[in-house]
């Protein structure tokens, strides 16, 4: 069990190109499938609505955190907020960070989404797993169970 999601992807495009695709609100909207009301500005709320087929009724809302040109773009939001009747504002938001790194062939994009907990519970949970055979066994059962379902 982890409190964060991490992805790495190699893109065969220059860092400047990737940076634009991430931070130009229209370009971002094209691949993310969201229609944004205006440009991303650090410290400001970004609003819009999802254009992904079947999810058009959903609003997009994020707070832009950091924009360090060609290095780091981050925002906070409520992930997977697919229930339009639910009030997600009371839940703590997660932090999405896109980090860019130049490679010989293009750009390495490192995505993290963190803050699924507000406290370092996962680390404790990890320690717990290592300390107790019963729990390790239980976690294995859980993983098998989930793997079967998906």
Residues in contact with another protein by CB under 8 A are 1-3, 5, 7, 9, 11-13, 17-18, 21-22, 27, 30-33, 79-80, 91-92, 109, 111, 113, 116-122, 124-125, 128, 131-132, 134-135, 137-138, 141-143, 145-146, 149-150
What is the three-class DSSP state of 43? coil
User: What is the C-alpha to C-alpha distance for residues 104 and 29, in angstroms, rounded to an integer?
Assistant: 28
Do residues 116 and 96 lie in contact, with contact meaning Cβ atoms separated by under 8 Å?
A: no
Minimum CB distance to another protein smaller for 57 or for 145? 145
Minimum CB distance to another protein smaller for 11 or for 63? 11
Of 120, 58, 49, 48, which is closest to residue 88 (Cα–Cα)? 58
Shortest reach from residue 42's CB to another protein, in Å: 21
Residue 10 DSSP code:
E
Shortest reach from residue 146's CB to another protein, in Å: 5
Enter the tokens of residue 48: 């819009």
Shortest reach from residue 48's CB to another protein, in Å: 15
Residue with tokens 């009724």: 57
Shortest reach from residue 79's CB to another protein, in Å: 5
């Amino acid at each position: 069990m982890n409190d964060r999601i991490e992805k790495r992807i190699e893109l065969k495009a220059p860092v400047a190109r990737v940076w634009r695709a991430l931070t130009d609100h229209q370009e971002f909207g094209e691949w993310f499938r969201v229609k944004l009301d205006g440009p991303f500005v650090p410290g400001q709320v970004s609003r819009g609505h999802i254009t992904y087929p079947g999810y058009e009724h959903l609003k997009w809302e994020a707070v832009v955190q950091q924009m360090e040109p060609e290095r780091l773009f981050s925002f906070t939001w409520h992930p997977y907020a697919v229930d339009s009747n639910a009030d997600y504002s009371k839940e703590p938001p997660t932090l999405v960070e896109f980090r860019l790194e130049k490679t010989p062939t293009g750009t390495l994009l490192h995505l993290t989404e963190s803050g699924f907990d507000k406290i370092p519970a996962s680390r404790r949970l990890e320690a717990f797993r290592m300390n107790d055979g019963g729990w390790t066994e239980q976690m294995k059962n859980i993983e098998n169970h989930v793997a079967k379902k998906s």
